[in-house]
A and B are shown apart, each in its own frame.
Chain A
């Protein structure tokens, strides 16, 4: 039942831009943010809240811009290298940050992300400062494409990656390593006494979460066509935590459901009133108060009842 629901959702998503072409950009951006929120959700499994994951989102997006400026024009190469750059940044930052727990972890992630923000904003000669950097339309397998064609490819690739990467992350969370990650939240002493190195479990999760945020950042960079320091600002990180909690941290789809919900709500609310924040805020209060397991909890319960 759950599989049918998932397949149907993906098919509807794939069909939406055909019916309403303006939605394509919104959905691409939502999926991009969904990847980053999934990264945050992975760490939430271990009880670690990162209020700094936008740094990896931005690091990857800027990597795309830098590599493009350096002459790398192939889409796949840019995507892979930028995600690797985010993963490497995650490995370096993570080696230091995973020693901390609770509020210290959250605040240190925020602090490091703000260093990134400051660097992107202040190194004007390198990063373009607050003007940001352009992300040109790359070639796909050597073929130069028009912008609408590329954006089409980007959307359907994002959708495909959402399914494939989502399945991969689900597999990881269901593996012994994923269970060990959840166990960090409840009993680190027992983990150590089982001979499991907690630091390695956390570092792997941190690098994975950075890579996921990086994948989202690269897609967002391509979709928007420009990267700006605000990608790394702390409110962007807070937004990712919000998306992860809103969607529900119980399963992989939660992050994407949360991101789609928030982007669509935001897009709709903007057309209704200038005070769109009011609508978004009210919707969040409803979800938080009445759906403790997030939006995904609602779907999971429906699917469970149908079995």
Chain B
């Protein structure tokens, strides 16, 4: 069997007695679009924090291409090709949208060349192409903290894509995005992931989005994986319907 791109083994982590991960094992394979669903506070974001080195598990390990990354810091994991978009967008709020993008592009290649300006023709074109992809082309010269929440979210995703990751971790990509923009955003995102051969893991509350786009769903509850499989099968599971989807 192929080696998973990311593998978590026996993860345990808790905060003030609440178990966010209680012996969790999971794998994500190249080309997958894996959704994690579950109630608020069940530990989904904590999993992303562990996978990106922001939180250290009490025990267990995280492997990227078979290499143990459990003790690495976020910047080291980012340099190994793992990018992240956040539930609350993490932007350089007093800089222009295009500058946020160009700094992300420079971070991947060319950060230390102090003689060249941040804004080069190539970098600007690449940044504009990515902004066009997520529908933010018209906002390029706005200061990012003046954007509406949904657009800030899109910019956060575009910034993560600018790192040309192999694995992208998305925390509720469609929250804060208007109902009208939700599916166009997901179509654009899926197109970018396929085109760039990016594997993705996403935490999501919108079950329509999960059902339509995920190859596989993992149901997280109280720090454990309650169910796992194709969305069509998982959403038939009465336990999932009751505790996560909210249908009795």
Q: Judge: A and B partners, yes or no.
A: yes
- Which residues of A are at the interface with B, using a C-beta cutoff of 8 A? 171-172, 174-180, 182-183, 185-187, 189-190, 192-197
Check if B91 sits within 8 Å of A187, measured CB to CB. Answer: yes
Check if A189 sits within 8 Å of B113, measured CB to CB. Answer: no
Check if A176 sits within 8 Å of B95, measured CB to CB. Answer: no
B side interface size, CB within 8 A: 33
In the complex, chain B residues whose CB is within 8 Å of the CB of A176:
102-103, 106-107, 110-113, 116, 118
B110-125 residues at the A interface, CB under 8 angstroms:
110-118
Q: 28 pairs across A/B with beta carbons < 8 Å?
A: A171-B115, A174-B117, A174-B118, A175-B113, A175-B118, A176-B106, A176-B111, A176-B116, A176-B118, A177-B111, A178-B114, A179-B95, A179-B102, A180-B103, A180-B107, A183-B103, A186-B91, A186-B93, A186-B94, A187-B91, A187-B93, A192-B73, A195-B76, A195-B79, A195-B107, A195-B108, A195-B163, A196-B111
Chain A, Cβ-Cβ closest to B103: A179
Check if B103 sits within 8 Å of A193, measured CB to CB. Answer: no
> With the chains together, A182 CA to B94 CA distance in Å?
9
Selected contact of B74 from candidates A177, A186, A193, CB within 8 Å: A193
- Which residues of B are at the interface with A, using a C-beta cutoff of 8 A? 52, 73-76, 78-79, 83-84, 90-95, 99, 102-104, 106-108, 110-118, 159, 163
Check if A190 sits within 8 Å of B110, measured CB to CB. Answer: no
> With the chains together, A192 CA to B76 CA distance in Å?
9
- Given contacts A183-B95, A193-B52, A195-B78, is CB(A175)–CB(B103) below 8 Å? no
Selected contact of B114 from candidates A172, A186, A193, CB within 8 Å: A172
- Given contacts A176-B103, A176-B106, A183-B95, is CB(A193)–CB(B84) below 8 Å? yes
Q: With A193-B75, A193-B84, A193-B90 given, name 4 new contacts (CB 8 A).
A: A176-B103, A176-B106, A176-B112, A193-B83
> With the chains together, A176 CA to B118 CA distance in Å?
5
Check if A196 sits within 8 Å of B75, measured CB to CB. Answer: yes
Check if A187 sits within 8 Å of B103, measured CB to CB. Answer: no
**Distance in Å: Cβ of A23 to nearest Cβ of chain B:** 35
Selected contact of A190 from candidates B73, B113, B159, CB within 8 Å: B159
In the complex, chain B residues whose CB is within 8 Å of the CB of A196:
75, 107, 111
Selected contact of B90 from candidates A174, A178, A179, A190, CB within 8 Å: A190
**Distance in Å: Cβ of B237 to nearest Cβ of chain A:** 34
**Distance in Å: Cβ of B246 to nearest Cβ of chain A:** 32
In the complex, chain A residues whose CB is within 8 Å of the CB of B83:
193
> With the chains together, A220 CA to B242 CA distance in Å?
76
> With the chains together, A194 CA to B84 CA distance in Å?
9
4 nearest A-B pairs in the assembled complex, by CB-CB distance: A176-B106, A195-B78, A194-B107, A190-B90
**Distance in Å: Cβ of A250 to nearest Cβ of chain B:** 12
Most buried by B among A189, A192, A194: A194
